């Protein structure tokens, strides 16, 4: 069985923004604290777009190179996936869910995992996996 971990925006911002207060913690997690080692990191393009909004050009380039080298998989969203994603947005409309988080919920079903790398205490406490379970939030540091 694959050790798949979903990756959220906050973690990627911390990893690729050297001025982020959580930068060293994000680097350390990837270096030696992600258990079990060798996790298959996966996310979607909306998360990458959202992350790039917060990064300078150097951070964007480093993120794209990291992905190109195979450090993280990008799962494609196809037109037939949109009704499920739209349903997630509708379900959490009162929580003002953004598209990236809705896609992470969708991805939890596709990848059959509840593990998510995130700095977000609130959203992934409220949101549920596509199968209705709680997310196992990895690496929440204050």
Compute the distance between CA of residue 32 and CA of residue 44 in angstroms, rounded to an integer: 24
* pLDDT tens string 68-127: 999 999 999 999 999 999 999 999 999 999 999 999 999 999 999 999 999 987 889 999
- Percent of the chain at pLDDT > 90 equals 79
Give dist(CA 86, CA 140) in Å, integer: 27
Give the model's pLDDT for residue 31. 79
Q: In which band, very low, low, confident or very high, does the pLDDT at 139 lie, cut at 50, 70 and 90? A: confident
Residue 40: give the domain boundaries: 4-138
Instruction: Please state the domain count of the chain.
Output: 1
- pTM comes to 0.91
- Find the CATH number of the domain harbouring 36: 3.40.50.1010
Whether the pLDDT of residue 2 is over 90: the answer is no
Instruction: Name the CA radius of gyration of the chain, rounded.
Output: 14
């Amino acid at each position: 069985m694959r050790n798949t971990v979903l990756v959220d925006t906050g973690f990627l911002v911390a990893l690729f923004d050297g001025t982020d207060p959580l930068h060293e913690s994000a680097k350390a997690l990837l270096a030696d604290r992600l258990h079990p080692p060798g996790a298959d990191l996966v996310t979607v393009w909306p998360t990458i777009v959202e992350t790039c909004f917060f990064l300078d050009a150097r951070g964007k380039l480093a993120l794209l190179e990291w992905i190109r080298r195979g450090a993280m998989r990008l799962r494609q969203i196809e037109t037939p996936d949109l009704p499920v994603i739209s349903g997630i947005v509708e379900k959490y409309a009162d929580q003002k869910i953004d598209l990236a988080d809705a896609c992470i919920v969708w991805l939890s079903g596709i990848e059959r995992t509840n593990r998510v790398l995130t700095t977000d205490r609130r959203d992934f406490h409220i949101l549920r996996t596509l199968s209705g379970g709680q997310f196992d939030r990895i690496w929440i540091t204050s």
